[in-house]
Structure 1
Amino acid sequence: MSVSKFLSISEVSQITSFTPHTLRYYEKVGILSKPERAHGKDRKYSEKELRQLKVLKTLKEIGMSLDDIKGFFLEGCILEKIESGENFKPPLNKRIRILGTHLVNLEQKKKDLEAMIKLTKAKLKEYETLLGTE
């Protein structure tokens, strides 16, 4: 979505499905950069914040912790670094490490879940067998 104007917190909330409270919380804990303010009061969100929120939503959907998400965003926007000619490789490498670690954790959770499914199926079969012998 291209934003030609600044958006209010309620408009951003509708677009992103994050509540205004959640948006303020992410700003407070340093996950979301502080948006500009109109007249020093009302938040004014730009396309940059919307892009950041889209990535944040994806990271939350894959189950990443808020601490890891904060680390992911700590060094700013990679696209801005590329556009400005800054060295983007260190923050990009950091993001790769964070995602790699998260993937390893997800793979372990998958193995644990598969083991629980196998155990549950075995227990279910055992119970069904007991019912069939009555």
Structure 2
Amino acid sequence: MNQFLSISEISEITNFSSYTLRYYEKIGILPKPERMHGKDRKYSEKEIRHLKGIKALKEMNMSLDDIKEFFIEGCLLDQVQSGENFKPPLNKRIRILETHLQKLEQKKKDLEAMIKLTKAKLKEYETLLGTE
């Protein structure tokens, strides 16, 4: 794809609202796109790839701060293709994902404990109903 897309077109492709795209630009998660005639944003395949990466991290319930940190060095694919040393940012992303996984594992343990307590309370109430 060598054509450029408008914010409404990229919004339709990625399922991110125009408001969300502008917000991501404002907070630095999404690089500011080029502009046509100095005003209208124009997006390319690169932004679509970037937004797909953001969406994947959001689906993992990663915070926007961590997503911003994850992408701060830019696109790894571009670095690989240009021959740049991509290992430091790759290692950083691995650390971010490992930390996120640890948080998810803790949440899983917390949820399992809550489920156990809820089941015990349900059993207690069902037992009370059965003793009438």
For the aligned pair, the TM-score class normalised by the smaller chain equals over 0.9
Residue matched to 2:107: 109
CA distance in 1, matches of 2:65, 2:13: 24
Residue matched to 2:67: 69
Residue matched to 1:56: 54
After superposition, the CA RMSD in angstroms is: 0.6
Paired residues, what number? Answer: 132
Deviations 1:61-86 (A, max 9, x none): 11000000000000011010000000
Query: Which residue, out of 95, 98, 101, partners 1:100?
Result: 98
State the SS of the aligned residue for 2:123: helix
Residue matched to 1:37: 35
Cα distance, 1:105 vs structure 2: 0.2
TM-score (norm 2): 0.98
What is the one-letter code of the residue matched to 2:48?
A: L
State the SS of the aligned residue for 1:70: helix
What is the one-letter code of the residue matched to 2:118?
A: T
CA distance in 2, matches of 1:105, 1:58: 17
Cα distance, 1:4 vs structure 2: 3.4
Question: Which structure 1 residue ranges, 4+ long, deviate > 4 Å from structure 2?
Answer: none
Cα distance, 1:7 vs structure 2: 0.7
TM-score (norm 1): 0.97
Cα distance, 1:14 vs structure 2: 0.8
CA distance in 2, matches of 1:19, 1:5: 21
Give me the identity figure in percent: 78
